[in-house]
Amino acid sequence: MAVILDAGVLIAFVFSEDTYRGGGISRWDAYRSPGGVLGGMFVASVALLVSIAAALAYAEVRRSLRLFRAVTLTGIGCALLLVVPTIIGFSTN
Closest among 7, 3, 9, 8 to 57, alpha carbons compared: 3
Segment 18-37 shows an average pLDDT of 78
Q: Is the pLDDT of residue 12 over 70?
A: yes
Residues 6+ away with beta carbon under 8 Å from 57: 1
Distances (CA, A) of 85 to 11, 47, 53, 69: 15, 15, 20, 24
Distances (CA, A) of 64 to 2, 25, 39, 46, 68: 19, 45, 35, 25, 6
Quote the pLDDT of residue 93: 62
Q: Is the pLDDT of residue 75 over 80?
A: yes
Higher pLDDT, 32 or 50: 50
